[in-house]
Structure 1
């Protein structure tokens, strides 16, 4: 939410010489935290699959991470279900970041269904 993760744009803003700051996954926009985790077409498709799976309204991927967390907190469910939804949200964000890093550092691009299945398999304790 504070835009401190080491994306291409934040590294360039910190003085690191990075000639290309375009998203390594889609190539359609600058690589910012919001883009990687919400606005990239890959991320949007992951969020669509996850929201369908946990039966919550579609995530607004045009906003920012603060709005995402506010929307998740505003979902009307009992506290146990809200904890699970919050945990799945964090797991999804982490999986998207990990997928980006796998692409950047290993040249490996996981398919959408593999990421979604990984999220579904992660243990979620209430």
Structure 2
């Protein structure tokens, strides 16, 4: 959220000579941290899928990760629900960054749907193994039926 990740624009500002600072996925804009995580069409597609899955409206006008996290934080819901949404948010940011690096360093494009499924798996495992929430049913999780947890 601080914009300190090693984006192409960030590296260029730090004196690293790059021949191209455009996004390796879409090629439409320069790659800064907000583009990586929010404004790239690929990242927006992932967020859209995740928010539809969690039954949260997609905020089309948000252009930074900080705004996006704030938007999610301000959604109505109890403490447990917010913890789940926050964990899914962290898993989404992690998978977007990981997929970006696979594209940059291995020239391997990770499809949106593959990333979405990996995010769901990561969040399920993180919540099930690293929190006091008892997520035990993968089938219910896949449809975001978390009523038993709340």
TM-score normalised according to structure 1 size = 0.95
The verdict on how the C-alpha distance between 1:22 and 1:3 changes in structure 2, with shifts beyond 3 A counting, is: same
From the CA coordinates, give the structure whose radius of gyration is larger. 2
- The count of corresponding residues between Structure 1 and Structure 2 is 126
The verdict on how the C-alpha distance between 1:16 and 1:61 changes in structure 2, with shifts beyond 3 A counting, is: farther
- Contact kept in structure 2, 1:39 and 1:61, CA below 8 Å: no
Distance in 2 between residues matched to 1:2 and 1:62, nearest whole Å? 16
- Note the aligned Cα RMSD (angstroms): 1.2
Q: Report how far residue 67 of structure 1 moved.
A: 1.0
- Contact kept in structure 1, 2:22 and 2:28, CA below 8 Å: yes
Aligned to 1:31: 31
TM-score normalised according to structure 2 size = 0.80
- Write the mapping of 1:1-126 to structure 2, written as runs, cut at 5 A: 1-60=1-60, 62-122=62-122, 123-125=125-127, 126=133
Structure 2, unmatched stretches of 5+, are 128-132, 134-150
Compare relative contact order (CA 8 Å, sep 6+) and give the higher one, 1 or 2: 1
